[in-house]
Amino acid sequence: MKSEEILLAIKELENWRNRKEKISNELMTLSGDEKNEKKKELEKINEQIAYYESLIKDMKKEVKPPKIGHLLDAI
């Protein structure tokens, strides 16, 4: 079902955001090559975040809300 796929994508996005926060915090304590490596990793993470944000936006467009008639029948 589409809503389950959206929820999975949202969970994955949250994982990437958590990873970004962790790496950002690590950057404050690093220097030199280690810092450069973490910056590269952060760039990849930002790409993944942008991908999942776009994916979720597109997925939400495909989900149609229930019709009023169906809601009234349920009452």
5-37 pLDDT tens trace:
999 999 999 999 999 999 999 999 999 999 999
The parent domain of residue 43 ranges over 2-74
53-62 pLDDT tens trace:
999 999 888 8
Is 0.75 topped by the overall pTM? yes
Number of structural domains (the chain) is 1
- Sequence-separated contacts (24+) of 3-11 with Cβ below 8 Å: 3/63, 5/59, 6/56, 6/59, 6/60, 6/63, 9/52, 9/55, 9/56, 9/59, 10/56
**What residues contact residue 56 under an 8 Å CB cut-off, 6+ apart?**
6, 9, 10, 13
